[in-house]
Amino acid sequence: MNFVDHYDNAIFSDHIQQLYEYSDFYNVGYWRESTPDLPDACRNLVRYHATIALAQATPHSLDVLEVACGLGAELGIIREYETVRSCVAINISHKQLRYAATHHPLAIYCGMDACYLGFASESFDRILSIEAAFHFPSRKDFLEEARRVMKPDGILVYTDILFSTTEWVGNWMIPSGNVGVKLDTYAKHCKEADWELLQLTDMTEYTWGGFCRYLSRHESTRDFAERLRASVTAYLLVVFRKKR
């Protein structure tokens, strides 16, 4: 079974659908003390990305690309920002894309690999990607392709997760070269990338940590939550600007 089949089986499973309360989100969320549930935490995380990327611009001026759009729920939040002129969303799962286009028809959906973007150079003002870069066969290729399709001064906002082991998330989920990456090595690569690094923030406590605490509320998932917590070295927010 390949990565896409594994991912489709996971995201459409009854267990995951129930966990996310049929909200069509699939991220670990951003947790505040007042956050009541997982879908609300997921919305918080999308808004965290979107506010950084979209808040400061002229109305209806930004052409936006979302990389790895999942089931499309994020697009409803991205479209709340009046700065957005157009939105394209990509995914490598055609099953997820068909679902997204049916239930969240707020973007142009394209089947596409994040490391081989089929867009003309300088097509987008903003690129967002939520909890996906650790899946990509090459983070370097993703950054190079994102830079190619970004307009000058465009902003890339994404979250990435550094895993110490795949034992509890599944070996299928993360390429072996993306496992065991140290935070200082990751930071060095960000600084050396052909971008202007605006922000590299460790958000683990409010994201992965909050998700694990949520799972720990239930006795049936308490042990699993502790193992998940120990699997992650860092949950990172990265913000780049394309150099002129």
Q: 94-142, pLDDT tens digit by residue?
A: 999 999 999 999 999 999 999 999 999 999 999 999 999 999 999 999 9
Domain that holds residue 42: 3-241
Q: 180-227, pLDDT tens digit by residue?
A: 999 999 999 999 999 999 999 999 999 999 999 999 988 888 999 999
Evaluate whether 225 touches 215 at the Cβ level (below 8 Å): yes
**What is the pLDDT confidence band of residue 43, given thresholds at 50, 70 and 90?**
very high
Alpha helices in 125-182 (DSSP H): 139-149
Nearest 5 degrees, angle CA 213-CA 15-CA 68? 80
Domain tally for the chain?
Answer: 1
Q: What is the pTM of this model?
A: 0.96
Cβ neighbourhood burial of 20 (10 Å; 0-12, 13-18, 19+)? buried
What CATH number is associated with residue 127? 3.40.50.150
Whether the per-residue pLDDT at 44 is higher than 90: the answer is yes
Task: Tell me the percentage of the chain whose pLDDT exceeds 70.
Answer: 100
